[in-house]
Amino acid sequence: MRIHVLGICGTFMGGVALLARDSGHAVTGSDTAAWPPMSEILQAAEIPVQEGYNPEHLEPSPNQVLIGNALSRGNDAVEYTLERGIPYDSGPAWLARNVLCGRCVVAIAGTHGKTTTASLATWILERCGLDPGFLIGGAPGFSERSARLGSGSPFVVEADEYDTAFFDKRAKVVHYRPRVLVLNNLEHDHADIYPDLDAIAQQLHQAVRTVPAGGRLIVNGDDPNLPGVLDRGCWTPIERVGTGPDNDWRIVADGDGHSLHHRGEPVGPLHPPLPGAHNRANAAAAVAAACAAGAPAQGALQAVASFPGVRRRLELRGEVDGIQVIDDFAHHPSAIAATLEALGDGPGRLIAIVEPRSNTMRLGTHQDRLAAALEAADRAFLLAPADLDWSVIDALRPLGERAATAAEIPQLVEHVLAEAQPGDRLVVMSNGAFGGIHQRLLEGLQRRAGR
């Protein structure tokens, strides 16, 4: 079968394209922009990608078109697909029908930590000899690809709560029919499609309804919003994970480190390579999920300690003159605060560089929380593009002189370079490429050092 993927350079749709190619289909795709790592992954897989959404890309007509959720009515390729009657589907629906059937699906859902938790769960299952398949919305450090079929029963999928396609406004997670469902946490996000927290909770509950009684729900027992999902109805055994005493899987401070206990019994040390309370929570949830899918608990904890990480999650991009440039995907105030907390105990100043790029941030939904999220930073530099309908400067006023803004990226880079000094950690936070600011900063530091 010949399949053409519209929006192929998105992390999810690119992963679907890889799985379709591995399943024996001839795969091509179109997109308006491509950036690493997905552009590199698709090129390595020899999947042709064409620029833009020209209807000519659909000639001769493929057997099926898979349409990403970034595309809507009015798009030239979408209109051509509809007009010509070419069979089409969404990525999540295709995945569920063609890859997930008959597998032990481990779906990782929640507002924060999905990519890291899904990568950890996959790594654990792999190290325990279960050869899982996976589709992860990022670039795990243990693979050059974001998706793989695998030969074992488990299949780990990052289960996004964002909508499926222009013709299916359900969350992606609703499609996957998991046997193990992880609910990491719940906050209001994706304000462009969800008016409030309750709307997201309703979508997560639709996924809860699909988990069989013989399956497992792995739930963050410390999260105040998840009980509102489960109170709507639950027919599956629940295992709660967290630091509180009522959790089945409990993270316990142990001397200078932490250990994981299961129903009151110590299992072993919990040593995720990535720092911070949020990464310990991600690791504990991944252990619980992997154990529900067949991994032994001791082997799971040993695997966590050797986890190679995920690109764009506290990733050190380079160091010049003792100044580190660190990349992180944080783009929601809670994630920004968690990232800064994780790095807070290190040497030198902590300098946050933030792009308010997500739809929720651009709408200003969480503008009142932005200053508090940046409180742990010694200095904060934010991009304040002219097309925002809210004032970044006003939102940062509580930080006083610790905060600065710029309307353009080159200007922002100049501000940072003028102040950076040896020992500083420059933490770049965005859910996009941020105009290549990481490399611009490194090159600017090298010029300043005379290299």
pLDDT tens digits for 279-334?
Answer: 899 999 999 999 999 999 999 999 999 988 777 777 888 888 888 888 887 767 87
The residue-averaged pLDDT of 251-269 equals 91
pLDDT at 276: 79
Q: What's the CATH class of domain 315-448?
A: alpha beta
Q: Please report, as a single letter, which amino acid is at residue 140.
A: P
Q: Who wins on pLDDT, 194 or 402? A: 402
pLDDT at 220: 95
**Prediction pTM value:** 0.83
Lowest mean pLDDT among 107-121, 168-182, 281-295, 332-346: 332-346
Which residue's structure tokens are 């501000």?
415
Q: Using 50, 70 and 90 to split pLDDT, how confident is the model at 141?
A: confident
Give the architecture-level CATH label for domain 102-305: 3-Layer(aba) Sandwich (3.40)
Start and end residues for every CATH 3.40.1190.10 domain found in the chain: 102-305
pLDDT at 318: 87
Hey, CA dihedral for 308, 310, 311, 313, is it positive or negative? Answer: negative
String of DSSP letters for 108-170 = EESSS-HHHHHHHHHHHHHHTT---EEE-SS-BTT-SSSEE--SSSEEEEE---SEEETTEEE
Rg (CA), the chain: 22
> Closest Cα to residue 4, out of 51, 66, 87?
66
pLDDT at 36: 67
Per DSSP, 93 falls in state H
The residue-averaged pLDDT of 360-383 equals 80
- Please give the Cα distance from 329 to 336 (Å, whole number): 9
Whether CATH 3.40.50.720 fits 2-91: yes
Q: CB neighbours of 329 closer than 8 A, spacing ≥ 6? A: 115, 138, 312, 313, 335, 429, 430, 431
- Please give the Cα distance from 283 to 118 (Å, whole number): 10
Q: Please report, as a single letter, which amino acid is at residue 348.
A: G
pLDDT in tens, 200-212: 889 899 999 999 9
